[in-house]
Amino acid sequence: MARASTGRRSRAPVRSYGITPWGTAFLRAFSPADARRAAKARAYFRDRHVHALTVVPGRITSSVSGSQLDPFDVTIDLRTVDAATVVGLLQRDGRAAELTEVTRGGQPAGVGELVAPTEAADAKAGCTCPVDDLCIHVLATAYEVAAMVDRDPAVLLDVMGAPLTDLLALANATETPVEWSARNERSVARPGAELIETDFYGDQTALPEAPLLPDFYALTEFDAKLLRAALRATGVIPGDVAEAADGLAALYDRITGLP
Protein backbone atom coordinates (compact mmCIF):
# COMPACT_ATOMS: atom_id res chain seq x y z
CA MET A 1 0.00 0.00 0.00
CA ALA A 2 1.34 3.40 -0.94
CA ARG A 3 2.25 5.64 1.97
CA ALA A 4 0.83 9.14 1.90
CA SER A 5 3.29 11.97 1.73
CA THR A 6 3.49 14.24 4.75
CA GLY A 7 4.64 17.14 2.60
CA ARG A 8 7.97 17.34 4.46
CA ARG A 9 11.31 16.94 2.79
CA SER A 10 13.68 14.46 4.35
CA ARG A 11 16.83 16.07 5.66
CA ALA A 12 20.32 14.72 5.31
CA PRO A 13 22.03 13.84 8.61
CA VAL A 14 23.82 16.79 10.20
CA ARG A 15 27.56 16.52 9.62
CA SER A 16 29.87 16.75 12.60
CA TYR A 17 33.56 17.34 13.24
CA GLY A 18 35.86 17.46 16.24
CA ILE A 19 33.74 15.00 18.24
CA THR A 20 36.70 12.84 19.31
CA PRO A 21 39.73 13.79 21.43
CA TRP A 22 42.12 13.78 18.47
CA GLY A 23 39.69 15.61 16.21
CA THR A 24 39.33 18.32 18.84
CA ALA A 25 43.10 18.45 19.39
CA PHE A 26 43.75 19.03 15.69
CA LEU A 27 41.54 22.14 15.78
CA ARG A 28 43.69 23.77 18.47
CA ALA A 29 45.70 25.30 15.63
CA PHE A 30 42.58 26.94 14.17
CA SER A 31 40.89 29.30 16.61
CA PRO A 32 39.14 32.18 14.83
CA ALA A 33 38.65 35.42 16.70
CA ASP A 34 35.46 36.19 14.77
CA ALA A 35 32.54 34.00 15.84
CA ARG A 36 30.53 34.95 12.75
CA ARG A 37 33.36 33.76 10.51
CA ALA A 38 33.46 30.44 12.37
CA ALA A 39 29.70 30.04 11.94
CA LYS A 40 30.00 30.69 8.21
CA ALA A 41 32.82 28.12 7.96
CA ARG A 42 30.67 25.55 9.75
CA ALA A 43 27.93 26.17 7.20
CA TYR A 44 30.45 25.64 4.38
CA PHE A 45 31.48 22.38 6.03
CA ARG A 46 27.90 21.15 6.46
CA ASP A 47 27.03 22.04 2.87
CA ARG A 48 30.17 20.33 1.50
CA HIS A 49 31.84 23.36 -0.05
CA VAL A 50 35.29 21.78 0.40
CA HIS A 51 36.54 19.80 -2.61
CA ALA A 52 39.75 18.13 -3.80
CA LEU A 53 40.96 17.73 -0.23
CA THR A 54 44.43 16.17 0.05
CA VAL A 55 46.33 15.33 3.22
CA VAL A 56 50.05 14.54 3.14
CA PRO A 57 52.71 14.82 5.86
CA GLY A 58 52.96 18.46 6.82
CA ARG A 59 50.52 19.83 4.26
CA ILE A 60 46.77 20.05 3.54
CA THR A 61 45.34 21.43 0.30
CA SER A 62 41.78 21.95 -0.87
CA SER A 63 39.51 23.86 -3.20
CA VAL A 64 36.60 25.66 -1.53
CA SER A 65 33.61 27.00 -3.41
CA GLY A 66 32.24 30.27 -2.10
CA SER A 67 30.25 33.28 -3.19
CA GLN A 68 32.28 33.73 -6.38
CA LEU A 69 32.21 31.62 -9.53
CA ASP A 70 35.76 30.37 -9.15
CA PRO A 71 36.67 28.34 -6.03
CA PHE A 72 39.41 29.48 -3.67
CA ASP A 73 42.55 27.38 -3.18
CA VAL A 74 43.61 26.63 0.40
CA THR A 75 47.01 25.48 1.61
CA ILE A 76 47.79 24.62 5.23
CA ASP A 77 51.37 23.83 6.28
CA LEU A 78 51.78 22.16 9.67
CA ARG A 79 54.79 21.97 11.95
CA THR A 80 55.50 18.24 11.85
CA VAL A 81 56.84 16.03 14.62
CA ASP A 82 59.77 13.62 14.52
CA ALA A 83 58.57 10.00 14.47
CA ALA A 84 61.71 8.68 16.20
CA THR A 85 61.32 11.21 19.02
CA VAL A 86 57.66 10.24 19.49
CA VAL A 87 58.56 6.55 19.74
CA GLY A 88 61.45 7.27 22.10
CA LEU A 89 59.22 9.24 24.48
CA LEU A 90 56.53 6.57 24.39
CA GLN A 91 59.06 3.86 25.21
CA ARG A 92 60.59 5.97 27.97
CA ASP A 93 57.19 6.32 29.62
CA GLY A 94 56.23 2.68 29.04
CA ARG A 95 53.40 3.66 26.67
CA ALA A 96 54.60 2.16 23.38
CA ALA A 97 51.68 -0.27 23.47
CA GLU A 98 49.40 2.69 22.75
CA LEU A 99 50.45 2.41 19.10
CA THR A 100 48.64 -0.92 18.93
CA GLU A 101 45.53 0.82 20.23
CA VAL A 102 45.69 3.22 17.27
CA THR A 103 45.68 0.26 14.85
CA ARG A 104 42.33 -0.71 16.37
CA GLY A 105 40.88 2.76 15.80
CA GLY A 106 41.63 4.07 19.30
CA GLN A 107 42.88 7.54 20.22
CA PRO A 108 45.22 7.06 23.20
CA ALA A 109 46.03 10.22 25.12
CA GLY A 110 49.79 9.62 25.26
CA VAL A 111 50.23 9.48 21.50
CA GLY A 112 47.84 12.37 20.95
CA GLU A 113 49.72 14.65 23.35
CA LEU A 114 52.97 14.05 21.50
CA VAL A 115 51.61 14.45 17.97
CA ALA A 116 48.65 16.87 17.87
CA PRO A 117 49.12 20.64 17.37
CA THR A 118 49.34 22.67 20.56
CA GLU A 119 48.88 26.25 19.34
CA ALA A 120 48.05 28.42 16.35
CA ALA A 121 51.75 28.76 15.50
CA ASP A 122 51.79 25.06 14.58
CA ALA A 123 49.82 25.81 11.39
CA LYS A 124 50.50 28.32 8.62
CA ALA A 125 47.53 28.75 6.31
CA GLY A 126 47.10 30.51 2.99
CA CYS A 127 44.12 31.10 0.72
CA THR A 128 43.60 32.78 -2.63
CA CYS A 129 40.67 34.79 -1.22
CA PRO A 130 41.22 38.47 -0.25
CA VAL A 131 41.10 37.83 3.52
CA ASP A 132 44.54 38.04 5.13
CA ASP A 133 43.92 36.24 8.41
CA LEU A 134 42.12 32.99 9.19
CA CYS A 135 39.37 32.90 6.56
CA ILE A 136 36.24 30.78 6.31
CA HIS A 137 37.79 28.66 3.53
CA VAL A 138 40.75 27.65 5.71
CA LEU A 139 38.42 26.97 8.64
CA ALA A 140 36.06 24.84 6.56
CA THR A 141 39.05 22.83 5.34
CA ALA A 142 40.27 22.35 8.92
CA TYR A 143 36.80 21.13 9.93
CA GLU A 144 36.88 18.58 7.09
CA VAL A 145 40.24 17.24 8.26
CA ALA A 146 38.99 17.09 11.87
CA ALA A 147 36.04 15.00 10.63
CA MET A 148 38.50 12.69 8.88
CA VAL A 149 40.47 12.32 12.13
CA ASP A 150 37.23 11.50 13.96
CA ARG A 151 36.66 8.60 11.54
CA ASP A 152 40.27 7.44 11.26
CA PRO A 153 42.78 8.54 13.95
CA ALA A 154 45.72 7.59 11.72
CA VAL A 155 44.94 10.68 9.59
CA LEU A 156 46.27 12.90 12.41
CA LEU A 157 49.53 10.93 12.47
CA ASP A 158 49.83 11.24 8.68
CA VAL A 159 49.32 14.98 8.51
CA MET A 160 51.65 15.62 11.47
CA GLY A 161 54.48 13.76 9.75
CA ALA A 162 54.50 10.60 11.85
CA PRO A 163 52.55 7.93 9.90
CA LEU A 164 51.43 4.95 11.96
CA THR A 165 53.45 2.53 9.82
CA ASP A 166 56.63 4.52 10.54
CA LEU A 167 55.92 4.65 14.27
CA LEU A 168 55.32 0.89 14.43
CA ALA A 169 58.48 0.13 12.46
CA LEU A 170 60.56 2.35 14.74
CA ALA A 171 59.00 0.86 17.87
CA ASN A 172 59.87 -2.66 16.73
CA ALA A 173 63.37 -1.71 15.57
CA THR A 174 64.44 0.29 18.63
CA GLU A 175 63.44 -2.15 21.35
CA THR A 176 66.56 -3.48 23.05
CA PRO A 177 67.32 -7.22 23.43
CA VAL A 178 67.12 -6.74 27.23
CA GLU A 179 63.55 -5.45 26.97
CA TRP A 180 62.61 -8.30 24.65
CA SER A 181 64.20 -10.92 26.93
CA ALA A 182 62.46 -9.55 30.02
CA ARG A 183 59.06 -10.00 28.41
CA ASN A 184 59.84 -13.45 27.02
CA GLU A 185 62.14 -14.94 29.62
CA ARG A 186 59.85 -17.94 29.96
CA SER A 187 60.81 -19.10 26.47
CA VAL A 188 64.37 -17.78 25.97
CA ALA A 189 67.45 -19.54 27.34
CA ARG A 190 69.54 -17.35 29.66
CA PRO A 191 72.97 -16.27 28.29
CA GLY A 192 75.74 -18.76 28.97
CA ALA A 193 73.47 -21.74 29.52
CA GLU A 194 73.71 -24.84 27.35
CA LEU A 195 70.57 -26.66 26.35
CA ILE A 196 71.21 -30.43 26.62
CA GLU A 197 68.71 -32.73 24.98
CA THR A 198 68.70 -36.39 24.06
CA ASP A 199 68.17 -36.56 20.35
CA PHE A 200 66.90 -39.50 18.31
CA TYR A 201 70.32 -41.20 18.49
CA GLY A 202 70.76 -40.71 22.24
CA ASP A 203 74.22 -39.12 22.05
CA GLN A 204 73.49 -36.16 24.38
CA THR A 205 74.14 -33.55 21.71
CA ALA A 206 74.86 -30.08 23.16
CA LEU A 207 72.75 -27.63 21.24
CA PRO A 208 73.92 -24.04 20.72
CA GLU A 209 72.44 -21.22 22.73
CA ALA A 210 69.08 -20.05 21.43
CA PRO A 211 69.39 -16.76 19.51
CA LEU A 212 67.74 -13.59 20.72
CA LEU A 213 65.35 -12.72 17.93
CA PRO A 214 63.97 -9.21 17.48
CA ASP A 215 60.58 -8.62 19.03
CA PHE A 216 57.64 -9.25 16.74
CA TYR A 217 54.04 -8.50 17.54
CA ALA A 218 51.89 -9.67 14.68
CA LEU A 219 48.99 -7.31 15.35
CA THR A 220 51.19 -4.26 14.68
CA GLU A 221 52.46 -5.62 11.38
CA PHE A 222 49.21 -5.85 9.44
CA ASP A 223 47.31 -3.15 7.61
CA ALA A 224 44.53 -2.15 10.04
CA LYS A 225 42.27 -0.93 7.23
CA LEU A 226 42.53 -4.29 5.47
CA LEU A 227 41.75 -6.12 8.71
CA ARG A 228 38.62 -4.05 9.26
CA ALA A 229 37.58 -4.68 5.64
CA ALA A 230 38.12 -8.42 6.14
CA LEU A 231 36.02 -8.42 9.31
CA ARG A 232 33.21 -6.60 7.53
CA ALA A 233 33.41 -9.12 4.67
CA THR A 234 32.75 -11.96 7.15
CA GLY A 235 29.45 -10.34 8.13
CA VAL A 236 30.57 -8.38 11.20
CA ILE A 237 28.49 -5.21 11.29
CA PRO A 238 30.47 -1.92 11.23
CA GLY A 239 29.57 -1.11 14.83
CA ASP A 240 31.14 -4.38 16.03
CA VAL A 241 34.36 -4.22 13.97
CA ALA A 242 36.36 -2.55 16.76
CA GLU A 243 35.07 -5.10 19.30
CA ALA A 244 36.01 -7.94 16.94
CA ALA A 245 39.52 -6.50 16.51
CA ASP A 246 39.92 -6.28 20.30
CA GLY A 247 38.79 -9.89 20.63
CA LEU A 248 41.33 -10.94 18.03
CA ALA A 249 44.08 -9.11 19.94
CA ALA A 250 43.07 -10.77 23.21
CA LEU A 251 43.13 -14.21 21.56
CA TYR A 252 46.57 -13.52 20.08
CA ASP A 253 47.92 -12.49 23.50
CA ARG A 254 46.60 -15.73 25.04
CA ILE A 255 48.19 -17.85 22.32
CA THR A 256 51.58 -16.14 22.55
CA GLY A 257 51.52 -15.87 26.33
CA LEU A 258 52.12 -12.12 26.32
CA PRO A 259 51.13 -10.23 29.48
Three-class DSSP category at 133:
coil
Last residue of a domain, one of 167, 182, 215: 167
Q: Which pLDDT score is estimated for 189?
A: 39
Residues 116 and 222 in one domain: no
Please give the tally of structural domains in the chain: 2
Q: Which pLDDT score is estimated for 5?
A: 42
Chain centroid to CA 11: how far?
A: 31
User: What pTM did the predictor assign?
Assistant: 0.64
- Residue 177 falls within a domain, yes or no? no
Residues 51 and 146 in one domain: yes
Q: Return the DSSP state at 240.
A: G
Q: Which pLDDT score is estimated for 132?
A: 81
- Residue 16 falls within a domain, yes or no? no
Residues 39 and 113 in one domain: yes
Domain housing 139: 21-167
As a whole number of angstroms, the distance between CA 254 and CA 248 comes to 10
The secondary structure element, H or E, covering residue 126 is strand 123-127
pLDDT digits (tens), the chain, 259 positions:
444 444 454 454 568 899 999 999 999 999 887 889 999 999 999 999 999 999 999 999 999 998 788 999 999 999 999 999 999 999 999 999 999 999 989 999 999 999 999 999 999 999 999 988 899 999 999 999 999 999 999 999 999 999 999 999 998 886 544 444 444 443 333 444 444 444 545 555 666 676 665 666 666 666 666 777 777 777 767 667 667 777 777 777 677 665 5
- Residue 91 falls within a domain, yes or no? yes
Residues 249 and 199 in one domain: yes
- Whether the CB-CB separation of 79 and 135 falls below 8 Å is answered with no
- Residue 180 falls within a domain, yes or no? no
